[in-house]
């Protein structure tokens, strides 16, 4: 294990804490850049009052950075929960589990009768801490020319009209992400975005929630990260785990995997072509990974997020205190958080790539990692990765 992070904190507790360990020394860290990512995660049409009006996430760095650079020591980051100040002293126990949430699982697993205790830790508020950790991973990746971005592809039944992602190179993907950056739902197709905003408003009126899909990509990825030799070293599997661990994400796809599954083999691969002294791949159906190893093409991961489980319409359940059938109490929530999940997806993909880069090039010192990257030449590197 080269890199690791651990988060702690409850959704309505005083603060979230994350400790990041294993970062090489020498990475320039810009606190304002971490906060920009935290703000990106808070946004997106469909977020509720807490995210948009109460919280103003800021990562307080309390260790591991000296004169703006990592030292090799653990980096501790703290994010205040401003909503903590609004919590009443006494909060009645919750005994009716909400379907789709971790409530019932928490009772079974930890014997917690007050399901509020489960909710507090299982809440997606925790993803703020992940984005802070991901910001450090991103700072490392930037030193290697790797950029991670994202955009929303669908909201409910509405889909963005974008070119097939397997036809796009780094620049094409970066352009889509730039278009999505200022969009209300982080969608690169303005027409679809308008309809998505209206769909969120309609869902809010109908007391419903919406899910959707998003893409996360990495541009400028060096070839040769990951491994094909063992299941837990394969980068596709590690990316799938990382992205699927995001709250409400139930599916992950590398490249156009589900579409490719329906094609005959010859049109499901990316031919290897010679281009002068370099190799090029005219398509990216593999999503940037062959054999669990990066192949120099952009890394493209898509994820499906289920609609948030806190709906305000009848959601049948059982009160575990009385045994009676009932609806769970409604708790304030977002209508949709697909744009936020996309930003969390960036953090998770950045994290896995930072791990893979430190594994390949050594994880103690940035200068030695750079030298190792320069030494890792090959007569037949993919185009643009020399
Ligand atoms: C969440 C429920 C909502 C979200 C929260 C995650 O919080 P509350 O119940 O306090 O309104 O706003 O997300 C965040 C606060 C955040 O920063 O992402 C849940 O149950 O997961």
Pocket test for ligand 1, best of 11, 329, 347 (most atoms within 8 A of CB): 11
Whose Cα sits closest to atom 21 in ligand 1? 123
- Is ligand 1 within 6 A of the CB of residue 120? no
* Residue 130 CB–ligand 1 contact under 6 Å: no
What pLDDT sits at residue 381? 73
331 lines ligand 1 (CB under 6 A): yes
Whole-angstrom Cα distance, residue 198 to residue 180? Answer: 17
* Phi-psi region at 134: left, alpha or beta (left = phi > 0; alpha = psi -120 to 50): alpha
Burial class (CB in 10 A: 0-12, 13-18, 19+), 69: middle
Is the shortest distance between the CB of 123 and ligand 1 below 6 Å?
Answer: yes
- What pLDDT, on a 0 to 100 scale, did the predictor assign at position 385? 56
Residue from 50, 116, 246, 249 to probe ligand 1 pocket by mutation (most atoms less than 8 Å from CB): 50
Question: Cα dihedral angle (173, 176, 178, 182), rounded to 10 degrees?
Answer: -150
Mean pLDDT by 10 residues, the chain (386 residues): 92 98 98 98 95 96 98 98 95 94 97 96 98 98 97 98 96 98 98 98 95 98 96 98 98 97 94 89 96 97 96 90 92 92 99 97 94 84 61
Q: Give the number of the atom of ligand 1 that is nearest the alpha carbon of residue 127.
A: 18
C-beta of 371 in contact with ligand 1 (< 6 A): no
- pLDDT score at 383: 62
Instruction: Give the predicted TM-score (pTM) of the model.
Output: 0.97
Query: Residue 324 class from Cβ within 10 Å (0-12 exposed, 13-18 middle, 19+ buried)?
Result: exposed
Please tell me the distance from the alpha carbon of residue 277 to that of residue 229, in angstroms, as a whole number: 29
Determine if ligand 1 sits within 6 Å of the CB of residue 48: yes
Which residues touch 323 (CB under 8 Å, ≥6 apart)?
Answer: none
Give yes or no for residue 125 CB within 6 A of ligand 1.
yes
Q: Is 332 in the pocket of ligand 1 (CB under 6 A)?
A: yes
Atom of ligand 1 minimally distant from the CA of 57: 17
Q: In the prediction, which pLDDT does 256 show?
A: 97
For ligand 1, say whether the CB of 128 is within 6 Å of any of its atoms: yes
Report the nearest-CA residue for atom 20 of ligand 1. 123
The CA angle 101-106-109, to the nearest 5 degrees, is 140
Pairing of strands 249-254, 299-305: antiparallel
Regarding the beta carbon of 81 and ligand 1, being less than 6 Å apart is answered no
């Amino acid at each position: 294990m080269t890199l690791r992070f651990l988060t702690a904190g409850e959704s309505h507790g005083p603060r979230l804490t994350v400790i990041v360990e294993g970062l090489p020394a020498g990475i320039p860290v810009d606190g304002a850049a971490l906060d920009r990512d935290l703000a990106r995660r808070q946004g997106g049409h469909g977020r509720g009052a807490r995210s948009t009006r109460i919280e103003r996430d800021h990562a307080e760095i309390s260790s591991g950075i000296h004169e703006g650079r990592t030292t090799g020591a653990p980096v501790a980051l703290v994010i205040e929960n401003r909503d903590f100040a609004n919590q009443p002293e006494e909060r009645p126990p919750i005994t009716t589990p909400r379907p789709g949430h971790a409530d019932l699982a928490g009772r079974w697993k930890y014997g917690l009768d007050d399901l509020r205790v489960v909710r507090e830790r299982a809440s997606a508020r925790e993803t703020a801490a992940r984005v802070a950790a991901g910001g450090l991973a991103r700072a490392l990746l930037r030193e290697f020319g790797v950029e991670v971005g994202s955009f929303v592809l669908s909201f409910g039944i509405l889909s963005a009209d974008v070119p097939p992602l397997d036809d796009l190179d780094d620049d094409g993907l970066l352009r889509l992400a730039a278009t999505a950056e200022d969009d209300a739902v982080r969608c690169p197709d303005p027409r679809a975005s308008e309809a998505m905003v209206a769909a969120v408003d309609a869902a809010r009126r109908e007391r419903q929630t919406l899910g959707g899909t998003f893409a996360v990509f990495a541009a400028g990825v060096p070839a040769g990260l990951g491994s094909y030799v063992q299941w837990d070293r394969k980068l596709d599997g590690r990316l799938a785990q990382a992205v699927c661990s995001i709250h409400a994400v139930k599916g992950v796809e590398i490249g156009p995997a589900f579409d490719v599954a329906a094609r005959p083999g010859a049109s499901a691969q990316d031919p290897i072509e010679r281009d002068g002294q370099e190799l090029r791949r005219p398509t990216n159906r593999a999503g940037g990974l062959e054999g669990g190893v990066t192949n120099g093409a952009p890394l493209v991961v898509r994820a499906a997020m289920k609609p948030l489980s806190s709906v305000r319409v009848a959601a049948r359940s059982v009160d575990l205190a009385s045994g009676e059938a009932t609806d769970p109490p409604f708790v304030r929530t977002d209508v949709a958080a697909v744009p936020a999940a996309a930003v969390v997806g960036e953090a998770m993909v950045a994290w896995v790539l930072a791990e893979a880069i430190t594994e390949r090039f050594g994880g103690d010192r940035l200068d030695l990692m750079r030298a190792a990257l320069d030494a890792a030449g090959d007569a037949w590197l993919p185009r643009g990765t020399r």
